[in-house]
Amino acid sequence: NNSILLAAFAVLAISVSSAATLSEATLLRMGAMALEPTIDGQITIEESSAASTQYGAISQTDGIMAMRYAVFHVGYTAKGVYFAARTSVPKLPQTLTDDDTVTLTLLPPGAQTPRTFTVRTKDGVGDLPAGCIAAVHPLKGVTDYAVLCTETELFVPYAALGVAGMKDGEKWGLQMAVHYSSMPETATWHYAKDKPDELGTLWVDSSKPILSLINFFTLEQWRQSGNYRFMFRYVNNSKKSVKIASKTVLHRGIHSAKLDSEAEKDVDVKHVPFNDIGNFTLAAGERKEDVRIEWVIWGGKVNILDLDLVADGETVFRRRIAWDAAHTPNKWRDDRGVPTLKTAFF
């Protein structure tokens, strides 16, 4: 009858409208990790180097890189998907709450509904499917970036994703996120304004290297000198050499009102190609780190880094990061009124 048809149509409409979409505006095309990670809440150099490191989470509040430090690591093995995050924590006496979390979202090929895995950064607890393992190493201490951080690790077996494994040529939906409860803010790897269901793309390809954006050097260095050191890593686990090149461009000094415009066409902006971070051959089994220094980028205007790194003529790493070192909203705030003790000597 008509009521049954209307109900069926409503269900169909809901499923279609909530279906996630993939965007290759944020893209990782890479091979598998060369090791199986140990999920103990401590991100080792070996684990982070075997995965793709993705520095800088984009605030969903304004589309600019969150000033609270965050770096994600992602990779896949024969057994499942590895996700790790190093994220900043508030200064004492503030503490992390149940609402401080990191989240991995995956959309297997052919699936309509993404699989979301959320873990609390204070204790590694999450409502996870059977077989998933999560762990946290709280209060890692002052990192190389002068920020107090916690480390969270998660491993998702393929059974929890409803698949037998990853296959070459597959394109998976991918999103990585951190949520802060103090002055609430969510920051993500892939940013799509007004498109909360849109995911970035993880392209499975064993012939391609694993590329990483490790950091912009230190937050404190930004404020003191305005100089940036963009650090990249390339790991080739394939059995043949690959030619690395770059189509990356830094758009310097964009007025914040133009953040949503086509930065590459802005005649008032200095466009700086990063051609020198490519143009080399990465041998089979080789790992290489590369640094690009850009001098005197002062705060007060938005800068956009359009990352586009190429292996054997095909883009394997694409991402857009907007930031402003003078942009400081959404920092920690003590909403609970935890008392502090101040002392002085006379």
Distance CA(330)–CA(66), nearest Å, equals 8
CA distance linking residue 3 with residue 10, whole number of Å = 10
DSSP code of 40? S
How many whole angstroms separate alpha carbon 139 and alpha carbon 92?
Answer: 11
CA distance 259 to 18: 28
The letter for the amino acid at 7 is A
Residue 40 has pLDDT above 70, yes or no: yes
Backbone angles phi, psi at 55, to 5 degrees: -80, 145
User: Which of left, alpha, beta for 141 (phi over 0: left; psi -120 to 50: alpha)?
Assistant: left
Cα–Cα distance for residue pair 318/22, rounded to 1 Å: 14
Instruction: Name residues whose C-beta falls within 8 Å of residue 227's C-beta, 6 or more positions apart in sequence.
Output: 217, 221, 293, 294, 295, 296, 297
Asked if residues 47 and 38 have their Cβ atoms less than 8 Å apart, the reply is yes
From CA 298, how far away is CA 16, in angstroms rounded? 45
Give the pTM.
Answer: 0.88
Question: Which region, left, alpha or beta, applies to residue 112 given φ > 0 means left and ψ of -120 to 50 means alpha?
Answer: alpha
pLDDT at 7: 38
Under 8 Å between Cβ of 149 and 87: yes
Question: pLDDT by residue (tens digit) across 102-160?
Answer: 999 999 999 999 999 999 999 999 999 999 999 998 776 656 556 788 999 999 999 99
Q: Rounded distance, CA 166 to CA 46, Å?
A: 22
- Of 120, 111, 202, 197, the closest CA to residue 160 belongs to 111
Which burial class, exposed, middle or buried, applies to 79 when counting CB atoms under 10 A from its CB (0-12, 13-18, 19+)? middle
For residue range 230-255, list pLDDT tens digits in order. Answer: 899 999 999 999 999 999 999 887 76
Please say if the pLDDT value at position 8 is more than 50: no
Q: Where does residue 331 rank: exposed (0-12), middle (13-18), buried (19+ CB within 10 A)?
A: middle
From CA 252, how far away is CA 125, in angstroms rounded? 41
Give the residue with greater pLDDT, 231 vs 15. 231
Please check the confidence at residue 13 and state whether its pLDDT lies above 70.
Answer: no
